[in-house]
Amino acid sequence: MKRDEKIFELIQKERVRQESGIELIASENFTSPQVMEAMGSVLTNKYAEGLPGKRYYGGCEVVDVVETLAIERVKELFGASWANVQPHSGAQANAAVMLAVLKPGDKILGFDLSHGGHLTHGSTVNFSGKLYEPTFYGVEKETGLIDWNKVVDQIRSEKPKLVIAGASAYSRDWNYEAMRGACDEVGALLMADISHPSGLIAKGLLNDPLKHCHIVTSTTHKTLRGPRGGVIMMGEDFENPWGLKTPKGKTRMMSSLLDSGVFPGTQGGPLEHVIAGKAIAFGECLTDEYGAYVQQVRANAQAMNKAFIDKGYDVISGGTDNHLMLIDLRSKNISGKLAENTLIKADITINKNMVPFDDKSPFVTSGIRVGTAAVTTRGLVEADMPRIVEFIDRTLMNHENDNEIAVVREEINAWMNQFPLFKGYEG
């Protein structure tokens, strides 16, 4: 069969783009070569609807072992008693949970998208806001922080069926214990979506949601540094609170409902080549080397936060406990859209992002979101963060000067060549 040179040329261009620039998108990271190797393996050919040992297809004896390894490793990593590693993404994981525990029209309480939440936490343009009745909590205008007493009061007053903890652009830790107490008072389930800080949580650098939340979801890329995908976990399995029975008359456990929420509820056959990549990544996360990595991620974020503040940038909440920060650019008279498009010219990749109480549309925004997971994978440390911020500031302050931006780009490309990616990987 003729090689598709057009596609492979584009793949090579993307490789060069990733290697040449500074990657600061908080939801992106670089997997290890062995994760990419597994994802390009013959496992992509196998259909395996169902669960290990309970498949609807023959020939699953090998992928059963692969998937079981992924399950056992992620349970060990987080201290979970149960996990499903089949969700194709974090959004799919959240969809499966909601299908399993909610009925259309049920009330949910999530973190406001415009304050740093996620689409799947009740946004009206997403399934979560279309199928269910969304209500929201947010941050305080004066501090950029969540007031947990207000969240507790809101849970008590709204009495939702499901409360969602977690965000895509909030730089502080979460008070899962307080949320669980309020949820127990009103009979609500508490789900934590830890897609962003999951790696820091796994290594004990942030509060542990599995001790307090009924259900925990996560992506497997971002700080976990695995393939793009999702996972659902529980600290302890429990009987469903609605008295739903199995065909044999036994009360269904929550794990059974969640499994069925994934398949056949929201997905068909699992992607066993991706699950193999997840298994490898979870194994990598269990090492001391990975523990040192996530400590460096947070140290780098704190160093970058200081450098931005020293340059006069407005960092929402004034600091960070995890790997990211949200920056309000209104004091610099620059929109998020302009910042994103200008920084791309210098081979710096960030994303525009709404900030709390934003006065611009989601297509323009007043802010940017930056994270340190990817640059830390490349080997950069705290001393490198002020240099990155200097590059960002030079570029933004010269957004109308293409010649200066070109100079910055050349400096960045030369610097990044000192931190090669994909060693030993030819894909």
Closest CA to 98 of 122, 66, 69: 122
* Cα of 323 vs its chain's centroid, Å: 11
Strands 189-193 and 162-165: parallel
Among 245-249, 346-350, 414-418, the range scoring the smallest mean pLDDT is: 245-249
Is pLDDT above 80 for 425? no
Is pLDDT above 70 for 427? no
Residues classed as catalytic: 47, 49, 193, 219, 222, 228
Enumerate the domain spans of the chain.
34-285, 296-416
Q: What is the pLDDT of residues 382-406, one digit of tens each?
A: 999 999 999 999 999 999 999 999 9
pLDDT mean over 86-110: 98
How far apart are alpha carbons 139 and 12 in whole angstroms? Answer: 42
Kindly report the average pLDDT of the chain as a whole number. Answer: 97
pLDDT mean over 413-420: 96
**pLDDT above 70: percentage of residues in the chain:** 99
Scanning 83-225, the segments in alpha helix (DSSP H) are: 90-101, 127-131, 148-158, 176-186, 198-202
Q: What is the pLDDT of residues 117-128, one digit of tens each?
A: 999 999 999 999
Q: What is the pLDDT of residues 296-334, one digit of tens each?
A: 999 999 999 999 999 999 999 999 999 999 999 999 999
Binding annotation for (6S)-5,6,7,8-tetrahydrofolate:
113, 117-119, 361-363
Q: What is the pLDDT of residues 2-49, one digit of tens each?
A: 999 999 999 999 999 999 999 999 999 999 999 999 999 999 999 999
Choosing among 3.20.20.60, 3.40.50.970, 3.90.1150.10, 3.20.20.300, the CATH entry for 296-416 is 3.90.1150.10
Is pLDDT above 80 for 426? no
SS3 letters across 271-336 = CHHHHHHHHHHHHHHCCHHHHHHHHHHHHHHHHHHHHHHHCCCEEHHHCCCCCEEEEECHHHCCCH
Q: State the pLDDT confidence band at 423, using cuts at 50, 70 and 90.
A: confident
pLDDT (0 to 100) of residue 247: 86
User: By three-state DSSP, how is residue 420 classified?
Assistant: coil
Q: State the pLDDT confidence band at 223, using cuts at 50, 70 and 90.
A: very high
Q: What is the pLDDT of residues 179-190, one digit of tens each?
A: 999 999 999 999
pLDDT (0 to 100) of residue 61: 98
Is pLDDT above 80 for 160? yes
Binding annotation:
113, 117-119, 361-363
Asked if the domains at 34-285 and 296-416 fall in one CATH topology, the answer is no
User: 34-285, what's its fold?
Assistant: Aspartate Aminotransferase; domain 2 (3.40.640)
Q: Is the peptide bond before 356 cis (omega within 30 degrees of 0)?
A: no
pTM of the prediction? 0.96
Q: State the pLDDT confidence band at 295, using cuts at 50, 70 and 90.
A: very high
How far apart are alpha carbons 403 and 411 in whole angstroms? Answer: 13
